[in-house]
Amino acid sequence: MITGTSPLIQLAGITKVFVTGSLHYEVLKNINLQVQRGEYVALTGASGSGKSTLLNIMGCLDVPTSGHYYLESDEVSTKTDTELAHIRNRFFGFVFQSFNLLGRYTVAENVALPMVYGGLGRKERLEKAKVLLARVGLEKFTGHYPAELSGGMQQRVAIARALANNPAVLFADEPTGNLDSKTGMEIITLFGQLNMDGTTLIVVTHDARVAQHARRMLVLADGSIMTDQTSRMDVSVSSGEAPA
């Protein structure tokens, strides 16, 4: 469900150039994009199209070479590393293809880890972790260790962990890449439920089946947004801007 009228994320003329010796490789080219709070966006395209780089910039894991990035109307393009870390902790949650769970900690302890930076006590962190695990259907596994869980269950733990600090945006980079088809679709169903609950989702995927579950699809090619299509299921979603 879309709420509010001002863009949550706005990119204006974003470029990203990687330099290796004398070689300059322009990964993103003049990206113009708006994402409203509550959208469910899929970033698709062939390998090397720039979709993961675009996600990293929107998630403040990387910075653009040029252009402007506004988060809730505040420009973050020129923030320091410390400021960007604060923004990531406050605004964003991340889910990756690799689950990145710590084997020596229980499932609940893994989910609670990001809350340490929020100043919560251990008891409060674990109580909140149990609530989040229940939200992803794993309330019976709080005391288990990651190695005891299936791949799909581990990804659910990773999603619960990404929600630990009530992020404004949940970013997912190929979240079903290490999962079989059935388990992958279970994760996508969970994403749909989270979006219906109000979570803004931006998902990078090369899988057309995954992308079709989003309410808006951006197709990238050679560093540019070639297609920006809104699902007919939700005509209220803003289409944003795409470069000419």
Four-residue CA torsion sign, 153, 196, 72, 64: positive
pLDDT digits (tens, 9 = 90+) for 64-112: 999 999 999 999 988 999 999 999 988 999 999 889 999 999 999 999 9
Q: Answer whether residue 117 shows pLDDT above 90.
A: no
Q: What is the mean pLDDT of residues 44-51?
A: 92
Confidence bin at 21 (pLDDT 50/70/90): confident
Tokens found for residue 225: 């947004």
Please give the Cα distance from 112 to 97 (Å, whole number): 20
Please give the Cα distance from 185 to 30 (Å, whole number): 33
Average pLDDT, the chain: 89
Taken in order of first residue, the domains within the chain and their CATH numbers are 9-99+152-230 (3.40.50.300)
Q: Answer whether residue 58 shows pLDDT above 70.
A: yes
Q: Answer whether residue 243 shows pLDDT above 70.
A: no
pLDDT of residue 164: 92
Top-confidence residue, 5 or 14:
14
Confidence bin at 13 (pLDDT 50/70/90): very high
- Look at 51-55, 63-67, 209-213 and tell me which has the smallest mean pLDDT: 209-213
pLDDT of residue 236: 36
Q: Answer whether residue 237 shows pLDDT above 70.
A: no
Q: Answer whether residue 216 shows pLDDT above 70.
A: yes
Beta partners for residue 55, in sequence order: none
| Non-local CB neighbours of 165 within 8 Å, separated by 6+ positions | 89, 90, 93, 114, 115, 117, 118
pLDDT of residue 241: 41
Residue ranges of E strands in 88-167: 92-96
